Amino acid sequence: MSFDYDLFVIGGGSGGVRAARISAGYGAKVGLAEESRMGGTCVIRGCVPKKLMIFASSAPEAAEEAQDYGWPDATAGEFSWRAFKSKLDTELDRLEAAYARGFESVGGTIYHQRARLVGPHEVELANGKRITAKHILIAVGGRPQLPGIEGEELGMISDDLFLMREIPGRVLVVGGGFIACEFATILNGLGSDTVLAYRGDKVLRGFDHDGRVLVTEQLGEIGVDLRLGLTPTRLEKDGDGVTVRFDDGSCDRFDAVMFATGRSPYTGGLGLEEVGVKLGPKGEIVVDEWSQTNIPSIYAVGDVTDRVNLTPVAIREGHSFADTLFGNNPRHLDHSLVASAVYTRPHEFASVGMTEDEAIERGRVEVYDARFRPMRSAFAGSDARVMMKLLVDEDSRKVLGCHIFGPEAGELIQLAAIPITMGATKEDFDRTVAVHPTIAEEMVTMRQPTRRHEVHQDGNS
């Protein structure tokens, strides 16, 4: 049977474009459908604009620090959302064009419309055109998920933040994950009176305990009004703003509300059930380690599979898929050691490998936990402390996890992730000579464990 394409990709985000471009580079005939802008969540309404907003929001701190370094007149002045937004739009247009060009330059064809499956080898575009392909890859990502409360349509989701006409005077952020912590930090830095309501007792559930404590404390220290153990139950329109009722009976008025209550796979209306593609409980596409679904011609990568929902993971899954199918180089991704960073300010929190609680479950563990005031901010009079934590398996001496709370922790963890991925031992870290004076040198100078965990026979430490 002959097909229109060797591969048809649904979704022009990080994972889909990487798979499509690499496959086309191997000589495959590749088509791709994208209903919105090329680049997807990360480039258009996620990591990229978010990180640029983090940079923008750090200007007042930089000015304050400059004063402490002998520049008495340094001031950030007034933030102009309009000026920033116009530059941001130009940058996103550039990136979107680069994504499209990169694929088209290797012979790929882009259909700027929604597509859905109509068979194991066939998709239908929104204009009714049907296209056949030997292989179909679904890379449609995820969508913000609302909490299901009355009036929630009055709130924003993270996508909307990048489209704001002005910075809200008083804003409520709901949630305690990556997005809530980062956006509370950004909005606070850009001048919004920011309230963060989270139902738990400290943010970032699932991360290392000590890092969670430090991020929670830092949010309060930078001026975010933290309301822990609190959940909104109803939103009501109130003039230009929104009145929010909470589960403790209180209510409060905000100019804007942003929900950061998680994301779910964007599988609705894709024709998956009709074609018989197996879905998991959250609507995610179930795949094996080769990203193949139960229908042999259909594959899926990225957040739509709900494995590790991070851009570089989607990219690596897409690349591995292309290498396997068209590059004669079968390979798949090991999802067990993926580093990530939460871009809070002034300190970021970044991790790779096991949390302390997870390491304890596994066996005898040494914990190296260094806390110190870094030279730069200490000179400026700040009490802010950095945390560097290494978790070491006492028997194999391997470093099982690394957690950093400090300036540029995202940059540091990327480098720490290399030896840890290679299986480095604590002694490998120790024989590495320090770079002085840096924050990162602590990573190779932690001589004595701060604590040890023994696993008792009942499994408790």
The residues carrying an active-site annotation are 436
Closest CB 389 distance from ligand NDP, rounded Å: 19
- Asked if 72 and 63 count as a contact pair (C-beta separation under 8 A), the reply is no
Other Cβ atoms less than 10 A from the Cβ of 57: the count is 23
Integer Cα distance of 440 and 273 in angstroms? 50
Q: What is the DSSP letter of 424?
A: -
Residue (of 289, 302, 294, 301) closest to 272 by Cα position? 294
Q: Which residue is nearest to ligand NDP (CB)?
A: 177
| Encoded amino acid at 354, one letter | M
Closest CB 46 distance from ligand NDP, rounded Å: 7
Q: Between residues 183 and 326, which has the closer beta carbon with respect to ligand NDP?
A: 183
Integer Cα distance of 124 and 131 in angstroms? 6
Closest CB 96 distance from ligand NDP, rounded Å: 20
Closest CB 70 distance from ligand NDP, rounded Å: 34
Q: Which residues of this protein are in contact with ligand NDP, per CB under 6 A?
A: 147, 174-180, 182, 198-200, 205, 231, 260-263, 309-310, 340-343
Can you state the percent helix, strand and coil of the chain, rounding each to 5? 35, 25, 40
Integer Cα distance of 182 and 99 in angstroms? 26
Closest CB 177 distance from ligand NDP, rounded Å: 2
Integer Cα distance of 25 and 105 in angstroms? 9
Element (H, E) at 265: strand 263-265
Closest CB 210 distance from ligand NDP, rounded Å: 17
Integer Cα distance of 262 and 275 in angstroms? 28
Tokens representing 41 are 């969540």
Q: Between residues 239 and 281, which has the closer beta carbon with respect to ligand NDP?
A: 281
| Secondary structure of residue 118 in the 3-state scheme | strand
Integer Cα distance of 331 and 321 in angstroms? 8
267: which residues sit within 8 A by CB, 6+ positions away?
A: 140, 279, 283, 284, 285, 304
